[in-house]
Chains A and B, each alone.
Chain A
Amino acid sequence: MKKFHVFLNLNDEENWINTIQEEGYRLDWVNPFLHCYTFQPLTADDQFNPYTRLDFRDKGMSRRNYQDYRQFFSDSGWRLVAGSRHGGIQYLQQKTMTSDRDIFSDERSRIRIQRRFGRFSLFYATFFLSYVFAYWKMTGSINFLDIRNWYLTPGLWQMQGEWFWKAIIFETPFAVMRVVPLFIFLVVGIYYLCRAIRNGYQQ
């Protein structure tokens, strides 16, 4: 079973995963770019409903250190379902019924992970939104919500009939290439900003 869901908060994501797992599923894989979660129905071999817990890494790790990270969690009863050594959310799932219920045993360490997630989000929000702002300033603060401003061709809007349509068809790919990255950066920037706000103030 595949499910798509975008989350702004680590706790919300963790609770959502565990609610689905309680209905008789096991998280099997996560694609962090598509926000796609793959669940498998529990089989007769699975003797329990596992919990999945989220850890967050803001920095990449060397191959050796990531090996150690996985081995350490594996020793402690947690299987890494999805996650990358280059950072991001690490999805850890109970291996057996006797594994701990949680990967954190005090509030301090749980809050530290949330703060780290918030800080990381704020960094990327700043990066993407500064790019959008700089690009907007560089192009003379033109209004990108007005489609006519997407086109650079002089005199395009004064052309008549067939010439106008030919010019539009020819110019549209260039206009889209000019503007689409800007909108993507804007959306991604706002997404990270919301994440930073949701995680920074929830204590």
Chain B
Amino acid sequence: MARNENLPLTETTYYILLALTQPRHGYAAIQEIERLSQGTVKVAAGTMYGAIENLLKLKWIKEVPSSDKRRRVYRITETGQSMLQLETQRLRGLGKLAETFGY
């Protein structure tokens, strides 16, 4: 079975897609990722900005209208959701495989 060429995702990308299942601006996404990972993943601003630009180009996230005039707000697209789905399946598969080895 051929694997999607964009997989595997980086940990940062995976977290960003999870955070943007709700509409959020960039800094809110950084904070949400820190919360979701219990403080273990702290994405720096420049890295986040580059990742958002990249995901917008891939059309995995899109900008959505908001009342905040100073901040752009983003949300995951259907393509993004299916990538998240594929990657989760891949991770689950890895987890199951490791289990058979007793881990």
Contacts and interface: CB of A to CB of B under 8 A. Distances in A.
Interface of A: 53, 55, 65, 67-69, 71-73, 75-78, 92, 100, 102-106, 108-109, 112-113
A53 B47 contact: no
A104 B44 contact: yes
Interface in B33-59: 42-51
Contact of B44 (A69, A75, A105): A105
A67 B51 contact: no
Contacts of A73: 45, 49
A104 B47 contact: yes
Q: Point out which of B30, B46, B48, B71 has the most chain A C-beta atoms below 10 A from its C-beta.
A: B46
Contact of B27 (A55, A75, A109): A75
Interface in B13-42: 25-27, 30, 42
Interface of B: 10, 12, 25-27, 30, 42-51, 70-72
A75 B51 CA distance: 17
Nearest to B45: A76
B50 A109 contact: yes
Contacts of B47: 103-106, 109
Nearest to A78: B45
Nearest to B30: A76
Contacts of B26: 68, 72, 75-76
11 contacts: A67-B70, A68-B26, A68-B70, A68-B72, A72-B25, A73-B49, A77-B45, A102-B46, A104-B44, A106-B47, A109-B50
Nearest to B70: A71
A68 B49 CA distance: 10
A72 B49 contact: yes
B46 A104 contact: yes
B44 A100 contact: yes
Given A72-B45, A100-B42, A113-B46, 18 more contacts: A55-B49, A65-B72, A67-B70, A68-B71, A68-B72, A72-B27, A72-B71, A75-B25, A75-B27, A76-B30, A76-B44, A103-B47, A104-B46, A105-B42, A105-B44, A106-B47, A109-B50, A113-B50
Contact of B46 (A65, A68, A103): A103
